[in-house]
Amino acid sequence: MVTWVIRGVLGVALLFVLGLVLGSRAWESPPSLAAAVTVEPEATSSTPVPTLEPTPRPTATSAPFIERIISRTSRETQVPYPTSTPLPAGLGVVNVVDFGYMPSVIRIHAGETVLWQNGGRELHDVTGEDDWHSGPIEPSTEFRYTFGIEGTYNYRCSVHPDMRGTVIVTQ
């Protein structure tokens, strides 16, 4: 409340000062038109008065000319970008990103390995329902587990219980 009173007093003071500054100026009257117009007497001599030529009027032109520029640059073919090393056969990969496993369901054959890579910024883990556990997987690290017996293996992240996935092992 006090701040609004202070702002109001400052606003009124500013208007008062502005009124003083503008009120103290001496206003000049605009010059009269009668003083600005001067009439010169006509020349009575026999000197010819030059006349101005009329300004030529613009004429219509044809359609605008559009210049087409064709540029050809010869270049060498770029070297292809390096690609990632292909994964070895028998390895399934699950990316742990943010708060989910991608893919959440993976199918492999018995004896193959699943690799979980933590590509997010959070700490995660992989905990199976049948007592296998990865321990903490720090960002940009990985965990591998080999499944030797066929079946369906459900797993989750013990840090984030909503994160769930399934490994389906077939013969």
> What per-residue confidence (pLDDT) applies to 53?
84
Taking residues 153-167, what's their average pLDDT?
A: 93
Dihedral sign for Cα 8, 14, 19, 24, please: positive
Residue in 161, 124, 126, 160 with CA at minimum distance from that of residue 139: 124
Residue in 156, 160, 135, 134 with CA at minimum distance from that of residue 145: 134
Angstrom distance (rounded) from CA 102 to CA 123: 16
- The residues facing 142 across adjacent strands are 117
Res 141 pLDDT > 70: yes
CATH number of the domain at 91-170, please?
2.60.40.420
Taking residues 67-73, what's their average pLDDT?
A: 72
Three-state DSSP class for residue 6: helix
Label residue 146 by pLDDT band (50, 70, 90).
very high
- Give per-residue pLDDT as tens, 2-41: 888 999 999 999 888 888 877 776 656 555 555 545 555 5
Please give the full DSSP string across 21-58, using - where no structure is assigned.
HHHTSPPPPPPPHHHH---PPPP-SSPPPP-PPPPPPP
> What per-residue confidence (pLDDT) applies to 109?
93
Question: How many other β-carbons are positioned within 10 Å of the β-carbon of residue 23?
Answer: 7
Task: Give the start-to-end residue ranges of the domains of the chain.
Answer: 91-170
18-27, 86-95, 155-164: which has the highest mean pLDDT? 155-164
